[in-house]
Amino acid sequence: MKFEDERQQDWSGAGSGGAGIEFAASFARAAVAGAISSPLAALFDELSFGIAVVDLEGSLLHASRAARMQLQARRGLRLSGEKLEASFPDEAAGLHKALAGAATGRRSYLAFGRAADRLDVAVLPLDLPGYARPAAALVFEKSAGSGGLGLYFFAQAYRLTRSEQSVLNELCDGSSVIDAASRLGTSVHTSRTHVRNILQKTGQQNLRALIRRVGMLPPVGARFAIAHARGEALGAAR
């Protein structure tokens, strides 16, 4: 578990990560201060990273669908009733410290769980108009495989075939070309051919540039990814 406060790290929005954090905080403030049933709360559910709003005791005020999926996965952080609970004592202490720090305007980064099941979360202070007690927003990492509509529309825009999109999905989830071939049940030669075609169609010079480009896509499609994970019919992309 790692803890950093705002005196140690600049969260002002340098780069896409910081900007996303600031957007998440302002959006969480607006959604909770308005009404959970508002259009803003519905937009919450379209984001490919989870956002939860809690009071400083860790009691849940609101969670997007993606956030609830992350909590149900029990990757070091889960819900006990409607209260956040860390799996390990040191991480529970870190969460308590981060929430207490949020009351004084501090922002924190926490890592829950162990090894491959690690879950990264940013804790941000929230000043909610009309809400008597201080609150905090938890912004979860983007889920693996949650490219959702962003990646889908990217593939459609560049006329990638279904096989090319499958390879691209694997690469964006951290697989090598060899691993992607194994997971998709194709030969390495076929996967490399797909990669060459993807680079040519998208105008990218190499895999690093391609992955970076995909990583900068709008963070939308959570409902798409959740429905896919549950095996539900998606219908037309909307």
d(C-alpha 115, C-alpha 198), whole Å: 32
The predicted model scores a pTM of 0.64
Same domain? 49 vs 128: yes
Same domain? 116 vs 155: no
Is the model's pLDDT at 28 over the cut of 60? no
pLDDT digits (tens, 9 = 90+) for 92-127: 999 999 999 999 999 999 999 987 778 899 999 987
Same domain? 123 vs 154: no
Assigned token pair, 63: 């969670």
Assigned token pair, 159: 């006329």
pLDDT digits (tens, 9 = 90+) for 162-172: 999 999 989 98
Domain CATH for 205? 1.10.10.10
d(C-alpha 234, C-alpha 152), whole Å: 13
Q: State which residues form the domain around 123.
A: 15-142
How many angstroms separate the Cα of 45 from the Cα of each of 50, 139, 142, 201, 237? 8, 13, 13, 31, 15
Pick from 6-10, 83-87, 143-147, 229-233 the range whose average pLDDT is largest: 83-87
Asked whether the beta carbons of 218 and 23 are under 8 A apart, the reply is no
Same domain? 77 vs 176: no
Q: Which of 71, 72, 62 is nearest to 27 (CA)?
A: 62
pLDDT digits (tens, 9 = 90+) for 179-214: 999 999 999 999 999 999 999 999 999 999 999 998
Helix 148-157, helix 222-229: angle, nearest 10? 100
List residues bridging with 19 in a β-sheet: none
Q: Is 140 exposed, middle or buried (0-12, 13-18, 19+ CB in 10 A)?
A: buried
Q: Name the domain count of the chain.
A: 2
Domain CATH for 134? 3.30.450.20
